[in-house]
Amino acid sequence: MNIQTKIVALLLLGLTFGGYPGLSAQNVGDALRYIDLSPSGTARFMATGGALGPLGADVSVASTNPAGIGFFRRSEFTLTPAFFLNSTNSRLTDQRSNLIQENRSNLNFHNLGVVITSRPLSKKWKNVNFGITLNHLANFNRAFTFEGETVGSIAEAYQERANGFAGVGAFDTRLALDAGVLYDFNDDGIYDIDYELNRDAQLFRRQNVTEEGSMSELAFTLAGNYNEKLAIGVTIGVPIINYSVAKTYVEQDDIDGTGGEVPYFESLELQENIRTTGSGINAKLGLIFRASQALRISGSVHTPTALSLEDNFDSRLINNFYEDEEEQGAFLGLDETAEGFFDYRLNTPWRYNGGIGFIFGRNGFLSAEVEYADYTNTNFDYDGFISDQERVNSDIQNQLADMLQLRLGGEFAMENWRFRLGYNVRSAPFINDETYRNQISGGIGYRMEGFFVDLGYRYQSTDEFYYPYVVEEYPVQEVENESSISQIALTVGAKF
């Protein structure tokens, strides 16, 4: 089984050159972070590839198919701590670069939930249940570092923006102007940089990126079981986002001490920090039809999520240069900082799910579920920055694509023991990218009369390309990141 995937992503992951409205830095990568999710939930849900929508009776399905809450016979409480490990190997795609490995791990909660069952007066309604769950949707923890010697400079990106649509009133170009990276040598409104004096120069560059945070959903679910034939459920979901990234980017001339290749320029360092917090609201409607004792057919629809987000950010740009190229003893350095915040909204696309499940008596089950979403229907909403809003939404339209996801899972029961396997495959989120992203999972569980414990494991390997900055007319810096992601979850639960 090939569990390695390759995607090409403009995941700028921060403040630099995202086409942002004066202060903030939203781009296609930022949108993708909050729509291309990998729900975790309970260890049982994770071990079976998330394919429990047609079967129900697991608190995690409140975030996929809420009808499954209607099949609970007894009230239940679950708690799921989890361990996450992301190991990333990074290499600047140039002959004079090194492969650098960074590991990032953390402990978190994948699930916390309770379902309360009740039996109404009507004989046809066997159960009407209410659930409150907190399910983990995404883990943002990652770190990577790259370094190497290549042609090009971040100053060229500042120059493109300053002489283009952004001008020097934007957050990043104003910082570059204040730090002396940009200057108007001829006083003609056209901004210059030292690097244009030798655009063939090889510069040493290095960047460290550290990401933290997660996205979870607080779900309120009401579901019922009608005459053991049809389960209907509705969820009101409240996603909660907490994300931060810290980046330090360095460029240096005179690598070997024999003299620099770029007149006047010595080095620069850009430090960036951003924290995004916010929440939203959505609704989910689900159905499960029990065609026979062994066969169940399911469907669900998720409305767009309306997210309200806030970015708080700060940048520091240190520019070291010589005022007189012939007398390098006259060394100058400018150190400038800037900070700000920006409030905005993000609207995610509709999602549609369909599934089928087979139950083999007390021996186990097999389940399959398909999910579809059109990522091009994602859009940002800025107050007062219409042109920037149109620009980033146009990028989403031109770069993202439809997403199709297949979830497969199975469980084998032997007395009190449960043995599980799962597989999840998704199409790439980018247009003209025909690769697929794969996850494999597995786990075991032990059931008693009023208590159960489950252990689940999930693994994913991905390749992606990262761009520390983007220029149109000059060499693009491309970094290949090879990541392996492992998750281990332990669920303890009680029935009452």
Task: Give per-residue burial for 53-92: e unless 16+ CB within 10 Å, then b.
Answer: bbbbbbbbbbbbbbbbbbbbeebbebbbbbebebbbbbbb
- 3 or 62: which leads in pLDDT: 62
94 φ, ψ (degrees, to nearest 5)? -150, 155
Structure tokens at 180: 């002396």
What is the H or E stretch that residue 230 is in? Answer: strand 230-252
SS (H, E, C) 19-49: CCCCCCCCCHHHHHHHHCCCCCCCHHHHHCC
Inform me whether the pLDDT recorded for 366 exceeds 80: yes
Nearest 10 degrees: CA dihedral of 31, 36, 40, 44?
A: 160
**Range in 63-72, 202-211, 334-343 the model is least confident about:** 334-343
The fraction of the chain above a pLDDT of 70, given in percent, is 91
Inform me whether the pLDDT recorded for 7 exceeds 50: no
Inform me whether the pLDDT recorded for 359 exceeds 60: yes
- Cα 225 from Cα 358, distance rounded (Å): 18
As a whole number, mean pLDDT of residues 113-121 equals: 89
Global pTM value: 0.87
As a whole number, mean pLDDT of residues 100-110 equals: 93
| Total structural domains within the chain | 1
> What count of other Cβ atoms lies within 10 Å of the Cβ of residue 105?
12
- Given a contact cutoff of 8 angstroms between Cβ atoms, the answer to whether 136 and 121 are in contact is no
- Predicted confidence band of residue 260 (pLDDT cuts 50, 70, 90): confident
Looking at residue 42, what is its pLDDT? 97
Looking at residue 483, what is its pLDDT? 94
- Predicted confidence band of residue 16 (pLDDT cuts 50, 70, 90): very low
Inform me whether the pLDDT recorded for 59 exceeds 90: yes
Inform me whether the pLDDT recorded for 434 exceeds 90: no
- Predicted confidence band of residue 17 (pLDDT cuts 50, 70, 90): very low
Using CA atoms, how far residue 303 sits from 4, 34, 285, in Å, is 31, 15, 9
- 4 or 257: which leads in pLDDT: 257
Looking at residue 121, what is its pLDDT? 67
Looking at residue 310, what is its pLDDT? 95
CA 225 to chain centre: 35
Looking at residue 117, what is its pLDDT? 95
Which residue's structure tokens are 């120069």? Answer: 201
As a whole number, mean pLDDT of residues 366-390 equals: 93
- Predicted confidence band of residue 11 (pLDDT cuts 50, 70, 90): very low
Looking at residue 324, what is its pLDDT? 66
Closest CA to 388 of 176, 243, 157, 171: 171
Looking at residue 95, what is its pLDDT? 62
As a whole number, mean pLDDT of residues 104-110 equals: 92
Tell me which residue range forms the domain holding 478: 4-495
Per residue in 439-467, pLDDT (tens digit) is: 999 999 999 999 999 999 999 998 888 99
Per residue in 281-314, pLDDT (tens digit) is: 999 999 999 999 999 999 999 999 999 999 998 9
Inform me whether the pLDDT recorded for 2 exceeds 50: no
Looking at residue 339, what is its pLDDT? 82
As a whole number, mean pLDDT of residues 418-427 equals: 96
376: which DSSP letter? G
As a whole number, mean pLDDT of residues 347-362 equals: 96
As a whole number, mean pLDDT of residues 412-432 equals: 95
Looking at residue 256, what is its pLDDT? 66
> What count of other Cβ atoms lies within 10 Å of the Cβ of residue 227?
11
**What's the CATH code of the domain at 106?**
2.40.160.60
Using CA atoms, how far residue 179 sits from 15, 262, 364, 381, in Å, is 17, 17, 66, 32
Looking at residue 259, what is its pLDDT? 67
CB proximity list for 483: less than 8 A, separation 6 or greater: 86, 87, 88, 89, 142, 461, 462, 463, 464
Per residue in 29-56, pLDDT (tens digit) is: 899 999 999 888 999 999 999 999 999 9
Looking at residue 367, what is its pLDDT? 97
